[in-house]
Structures are given as structure tokens and as C-alpha cells.
Amino acid sequence: MRISSRRLLGAGLAAGLLMGLAASVSAQTISYSEAGALLAKSCGKDIEKYCPKVNLGGGALKDCLQERAAQINPQCIADYKIVVASLNERLAAQAAVTKACRGDATQFCQGTAPGNAHYLNCLNAAKKVVSKRCTTAITNAGWN
């Protein structure tokens, strides 16, 4: 049976978040597709071997992996930590973009219509003059 990247991403997030694997790992943000690919590579065999019929929802996969933690590939555990930390950082960056970029948007995007990512498009177009704080928030959010 072949497990898709989307299933593994969901599995990775559910298991990783709820197993507390993100303890104090620091990582740059990665995309959801990159996260899914990383987990598919390092965790796919473990999920197929130890939890092949477990549904993603309701914490069943988390419970399955947690019960078998001693048998799970250490690289899978390490990659879960990286993925969870990175995706948490990405979510935090997305939440912080408005605050980090408010001044830049006021300064460089006057007359921009709100909505439909118009401000984001403006800030990305003006990235040579936009503050490092704003540019970093946009980059970490995965929106450039």
C-alpha cells in the first residue's frame, strides 16, 4: 500500500503536535508540500508497518505511533520535530505579518485596495525598500 504525501503530512502534524515532538527545535519554515515530502521519505515505512489501517482523525494515528515509539525510526522522530517546529513558525509568521508590515504598507502602498492580497502584492513588489522585519515575516509566512 502506498501512502500519499497529503496523508503523511496530516499524519505528521497530528502525531508530531500531539506527541510533543516540537519541544525546542528551531527551524526555518518549509512549505506544506516540503513537509509532506520529508515525512513521506522518513516516516512512510513506519506508518505503513505499524499503523496501516489507522485513520488520521481523532488522534488514532498519534496514539498508534506513540504506542510504538520505541520501534519508530529515529530519523522519522527527528524529521517530525523539524516539520512541526517549522510549520509552527510559519503559522506564527503568518499571524505576525500584519503587525510587522503595517508601517511599510502605510509608507509604500498608499492607495492600495484592501483585500485579495493587494497589500501583500504591493509589499512584495516593493521588497527592495520594505523593512527587514516585514520582509522576514513575509518570507517566513511563505508569502513571497
Geometric angle at alpha carbon 74, from 70 and 79, rounded to 5°: 130
Please tell me the predicted confidence (pLDDT) of residue 106: 94
pLDDT in tens, 75-98: 988 887 888 788 888 889 899 999
pTM across the whole model: 0.62
| Beta-carbon contacts of residue 115 (< 8 Å; ≥ 6 apart) | none
Contact of 22 with 87, CB cutoff 8 Å: no
Q: Which three cell numbers stand for residue 85?
A: 517546529
Local confidence band at 32 (pLDDT 50, 70, 90 cut-offs): confident
In this predicted structure, the answer to whether residue 107 has a pLDDT above a threshold of 70 is yes
Interval 94-123 mean pLDDT: 93
Per-residue pLDDT reduced to its tens digit, 36-48 = 888 889 888 998 9
Contact by Cβ (8 Å): 108, 130: yes
What per-residue confidence (pLDDT) applies to 56? Answer: 62
